[in-house]
């Protein structure tokens, strides 16, 4: 990733179906807020200049961002007038980063990876906009990606309610992640108008404006279909937790950690565990816990920010 880039994270949603008094982006997957997963991926990809668009209950998001060991800018979207309007709210941030690429991401979709981010920015070298797509088993409800005959350029993003039967068969869908030339995005934002039906400004309208003027817009297929996944309620949040839990356990097992039965074992993203250590059922490991090699942990042990020396045995 040679070209300098910045990131804009949309985090203004209320998340009413979560039945929580906190914004949805602060809901946790493996003890870490959804938005922190996104920020960590952006930082790992080498992007330092980050702005978060807040909205409902912004004080909670701003308070959390203030605890991070690095600076993150915020802007407040006072009215919920669509994704295009959310990006307009950050116009000063975009102008400050003139001449760069800007990556636009959703703050409640935790599985976008640093590798995907770097690849998208590299792929966008010769286009003013790159739409990140994913291929899913069940595309119902997603905007379908329709490509031009060259197989690279984007022809259209067709929403479910507007798709004909043939288009509905397409399994490549819009992830909601975009990489724009900042200046082209600012120009297109100045041209979009609110929907007659909803009064909202849609970010996807900027793509149509750029295409109409002959600008290159491409679709980039992410390798991991989970990059489109978010959570609108606690059932979906549980599903995200299970996906993340399995990934983390598999990573540790591939690194030589013995987890003979994974039932009830939850390991946070920041834990470090040495090879030949055994983790027994119903064990929970949180925070920056460091566990040495040849240990036996559990069953039903709970460790948080702990340091465990080699050859230790920790029971409940």
Q: pLDDT (tens digit, 9 = 90+) per residue, 199-256?
A: 889 898 999 899 999 999 999 999 888 888 988 899 999 999 999 999 999 999 999 9
Q: What is the pLDDT of residue 3?
A: 63
Structural domain for 181, as ranges: 5-228
How wide is the angle at C-alpha 260 spanned by C-alphas 245 and 292, nearest 5°?
75
Please choose, from the candidates 231, 199, 192, the residue with its C-alpha nearest in 3D space to the C-alpha of residue 80: 199
Same domain, 263 and 212: no
Q: What is the pLDDT of residue 28?
A: 95
Q: Does 4 have pLDDT greater than 90? A: no
What confidence category does residue 12 fall into, taking pLDDT thresholds of 50, 70 and 90?
Answer: confident
Highest mean pLDDT among 67-81, 157-171, 262-276: 262-276
Same domain, 35 and 164: yes
Q: What is the pLDDT of residue 1?
A: 55
What's 46's domain CATH number?
A: 3.90.550.10
Q: Does 2 have pLDDT greater than 70? A: no
Q: What is the pLDDT of residue 196?
A: 83
Same domain, 199 and 270: no
Same domain, 195 and 295: no
Q: Does 250 fall in a domain?
A: no
Q: Does 195 have pLDDT greater than 90? A: no
Same domain, 268 and 201: no
Same domain, 197 and 97: yes
Q: Does 103 fall in a domain?
A: yes
Task: Tell me the average pLDDT across 79-98.
Answer: 93
Task: Tell me the average pLDDT across 45-58.
Answer: 94
pLDDT in tens, 54-80: 998 899 999 999 999 999 999 999 888
What's 295's domain CATH number?
A: 2.160.10.10
Same domain, 218 and 260: no
In Å, the largest CA–CA distance within the chain is: 67
**Residues of the chain above pLDDT 70, percent:** 99
Q: Does 217 fall in a domain?
A: yes
Q: Does 233 fall in a domain?
A: no
Peptide bond into 272 cis (omega under 30): no
- Please state the domain count of the chain: 2
Q: What is the pLDDT of residue 8?
A: 97
Same domain, 224 and 291: no
Same domain, 279 and 212: no
Domain boundary among 185, 209, 228: 228
Q: Does 17 fall in a domain?
A: yes
Same domain, 214 and 262: no
Same domain, 33 and 100: yes
Q: Does 246 fall in a domain?
A: no
Same domain, 283 and 175: no
Q: Does 203 fall in a domain?
A: yes
């Amino acid at each position: 990733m040679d070209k300098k880039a910045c990131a804009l994270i949309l985090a203004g949603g209320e998340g009413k179906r979560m039945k929580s008094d906190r914004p949805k982006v602060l809901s946790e997957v493996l003890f870490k807020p959804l938005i922190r997963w996104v920020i960590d991926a952006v930082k790992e990809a080498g992007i330092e200049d980050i702005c978060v668009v807040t909205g409902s209950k912004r004080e909670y998001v701003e308070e959390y961002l203030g605890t991070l060991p690095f600076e993150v800018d915020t802007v407040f979207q006072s009215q919920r007038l669509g994704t295009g309007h959310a990006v307009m709210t950050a116009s000063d941030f975009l102008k400050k980063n003139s001449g760069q690429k800007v990556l636009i991401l959703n703050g409640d979709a935790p599985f976008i990876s640093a590798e995907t981010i770097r690849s998208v920015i590299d792929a966008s070298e010769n286009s003013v906009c790159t739409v990140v797509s994913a291929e899913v088993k069940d595309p119902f409800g997603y905007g379908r990606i329709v490509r031009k005959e060259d197989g690279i350029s984007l022809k259209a993003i067709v929403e479910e309610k507007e798709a004909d039967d043939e288009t509905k068969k397409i399994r490549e869908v819009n992830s909601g992640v975009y990489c724009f030339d900042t200046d082209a995005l600012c120009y297109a934002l100045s041209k979009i108008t609110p929907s007659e039906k909803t009064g909202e400004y849609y970010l996807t309208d900027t793509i149509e404006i750029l295409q109409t003027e002959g600008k290159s817009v491409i679709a980039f297929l992410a390798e991991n279909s989970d990059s489109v996944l978010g959570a609108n309620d606690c059932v979906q949040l549980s599903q995200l937790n299970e996906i993340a839990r399995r990934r983390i356990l598999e990573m540790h097992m591939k690194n030589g950690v013995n987890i003979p039965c994974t039932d009830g074992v939850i390991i946070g993203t920041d834990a470090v565990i040495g090879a030949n250590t055994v983790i027994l059922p119903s064990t929970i490991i949180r925070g920056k816990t460091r566990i040495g090699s040849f240990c036996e942990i559990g069953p039903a042990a709970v460790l948080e920010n702990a340091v465990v020396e080699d050859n230790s045995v920790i029971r409940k």
